[in-house]
Amino acid sequence: MNLELSEEQTAVRRLAREFTEREIAPYAAEWDRAESVDRALVKKLGEVGFLGLTVPEEYGGSGGDHLSYVLVTEELGRGDSAVRGIVSVSLGLVAKTIAAWGSEEQKREWLPRLCAGHALGCFGLTEPGTGSDAGSLTTRAARTGATYVLNGGKTFITNGTWADVVLLFARTDPDEPGHRGVSAFLVPADTPGLTRREIHGKLGLRGQATAELVLEDVEVPASALLGPEGKGFSVAMSALAKGRMSVAAGCVGLAQAALDAAVAYAGQREQFGKPIARHQLVQELIADISVDVDAARLLTWRVADLIDRGRPFATESATAKLFASEAAVRAASNALQVHGGYGYIDEYPAGKLLRDARVMTLYEGTSQIQKLLIGRARTGVSAF
Ligand code: FAD
């Protein structure tokens, strides 16, 4: 793996850093308190090309390699994980999945809008009764001639109330209770019978719209099917394998923000007659954050490098997600410790970083699920 960035990669990282410093970081605390990112930001993210990274230019994307995507995701995560998540889901889980699995008609219909930020996507897999065991989902898609009729419900859906299209997973074969009976659909969010309700009271990522979806006799044409019938679980797993790299990159950015905040505070706060940065145990906290940032970044870049070289990457992606998410929680907690009591007050960024970090070990597969994926790859035996 070449650790030297190309000129293009350096330029895209600089662009992302400047965009984040201008358009995101100054407002992140305000959006967190208001429980909503400014929606005007979505269009700006589209204009700068960040909602179309790695999507071919012929479909309105900005092209580019996966390392560039990781670099941008890291910078967005450094500014605000709520914003980073909006991009990771709409681009990483939805647009890239349409690009990989969609028909020509589906790509032409959705990708230009999603890449431009004129539309957002959400990923509807989790249900109230099925989280880690996603293959047992119960939302039903019944074929009736030229259409499918969808009934059921989804929960915890990022971008749920903002999205224009739902990449929705439903059971097309009621006689097959496992993942083989699941299919993927592209459902326009304004389809009659689809209702959405925002979930409030989240610990972190408060600026993000997280929603519950209810489907009552939602009728879509057979052309809404994404990929072959019965292959929906493969569609979901392929999306999540790359999605985990995106979460990991966001965690690197979050941990880097924790490091920046801890270093800045330790340099100016004095106790016992000197800056706390000169106390060895404070340096230990900062060194621990720094090691976590570096290790998480290298694991994440490795995934991008494997994808760009066309090599298998799923286990490495689970490894990066597991390590980076746990590292982000540790880093934010250590940064809060460096801030002492002030870290507990939302005038300083450490508290928000810790609240935002906490979900990273839960979504797109909990830490336990990542361990089972890695264990299965290493032993050849499934514990699921
Ligand atoms: P459960 O599966 O009930 O797990 C509970 C506990 O049991 C966990 O600790 C888990 O690790 C453990 N556990 C479960 N099975 C095993 C096992 N076999 N071995 C060992 N331990 C096990 N979902 C979407 O589809 N789209 C989204 O956009 C989305 N966004 C989200 C945003 C937020 C803010 C949150 C909180 C969640 C989001 N999710 C989304 C859902 C998320 O992916 C699930 O919460 C996650 O997969 C875990 O499922 P669960 O919450 O039902 O927990």
C-alpha 307/C-alpha 96 separation (Å) is 13
- Render pLDDT for 60-103 as a digit per residue (tens, 0 to 9): 999 999 999 999 999 999 999 999 999 999 999 999 999 999 99
User: For the residues 208-231, what does the mean pLDDT come to?
Assistant: 98
pLDDT value at 3 more than 90: no
Distance 362 CA to ligand 1 centre (A): 6
User: For the residues 106-125, what does the mean pLDDT come to?
Assistant: 98
Best of 93, 123, 363, 374 for a ligand 1 pocket test (most atoms within 8 Å of beta carbon): 363
Handedness of CA 287, 298, 65, 70 (dihedral sign): negative
**What number of other Cβ atoms are within 10 A of residue 197's Cβ?**
12
| Residue 158 near residue 212 (C-beta atoms within 8 A) | no
Is residue 177 very low, low, confident or very high in pLDDT (cuts 50, 70, 90)? confident
Q: What is the pLDDT of residue 25?
A: 97
Distance 136 CA to ligand 1 centre (A): 13
C-alpha 317/C-alpha 300 separation (Å) is 7
Beta bridge partners of 170: 183
Q: What is the pLDDT of residue 5?
A: 95
Q: Where are the alpha helices (DSSP H) in the chain?
A: 7-19, 28-34, 40-47, 66-79, 81-87, 96-101, 104-116, 232-268, 280-308, 314-338, 350-358, 367-379
Distance 338 CA to ligand 1 centre (A): 31
Q: Is the CB of 199 under 6 A from ligand 1?
A: no
Best of 138, 208, 325, 362 for a ligand 1 pocket test (most atoms within 8 Å of beta carbon): 362
User: For the residues 192-201, what does the mean pLDDT come to?
Assistant: 97
Q: What is the pTM of this model?
A: 0.97
Tell me whether residue 364 is one of the annotated catalytic residues. Answer: yes
User: For the residues 169-187, what does the mean pLDDT come to?
Assistant: 95
Q: What is the pLDDT of residue 384?
A: 87
Q: Is the CB of 161 under 6 A from ligand 1?
A: no
Distance 384 CA to ligand 1 centre (A): 15
- Render pLDDT for 101-112 as a digit per residue (tens, 0 to 9): 999 999 999 999
Quote the tokens at residue 217: 């006799």
Q: What is the pLDDT of residue 2?
A: 77
Q: Which of 23, 127, 326, 364 is catalytic?
A: 364
Q: What are phi and psi of 122, to 5 degrees?
A: -135, 165
Q: Is the CB of 125 under 6 A from ligand 1?
A: yes
How many helices and strands (H and E) does the chain possess?
Answer: 12, 10
Q: Whose CA is nearest to atom 29 of ligand 1?
A: 157
Best of 89, 91, 93, 132 for a ligand 1 pocket test (most atoms within 8 Å of beta carbon): 132
- Render pLDDT for 310-329 as a digit per residue (tens, 0 to 9): 999 999 999 999 999 999 99
Q: What is the mean pLDDT of the chain?
A: 97
Q: Which atom in ligand 1 lies closest to the alpha carbon of residue 93?
A: 28
| Residue 256 near residue 76 (C-beta atoms within 8 A) | no
Q: Is the CB of 115 under 6 A from ligand 1?
A: no
Q: Is the CB of 148 under 6 A from ligand 1?
A: no
Domains of the chain by start residue, with CATH: 7-120 (1.10.540.10), 123-230 (2.40.110.10), 234-379 (1.20.140.10)
Distance 361 CA to ligand 1 centre (A): 9
Q: Is the CB of 132 under 6 A from ligand 1?
A: yes
- Render pLDDT for 289-308 as a digit per residue (tens, 0 to 9): 999 999 999 999 999 999 99
Q: Is the CB of 363 under 6 A from ligand 1?
A: yes
User: For the residues 229-247, what does the mean pLDDT come to?
Assistant: 97
Rounded to an integer, what is the distance from CA 54 to the centroid of its chain?
15
User: For the residues 262-286, what does the mean pLDDT come to?
Assistant: 98
Is residue 283 very low, low, confident or very high in pLDDT (cuts 50, 70, 90)? very high
Q: What is the pLDDT of residue 308?
A: 96
Of all residues in the chain, what percent carry a pLDDT higher than 90?
98
User: For the residues 40-53, what does the mean pLDDT come to?
Assistant: 98
Q: Is the CB of 189 under 6 A from ligand 1?
A: no
Which one, of 104, 67, 123, 75, lies nearest residue 300 by Cα?
67
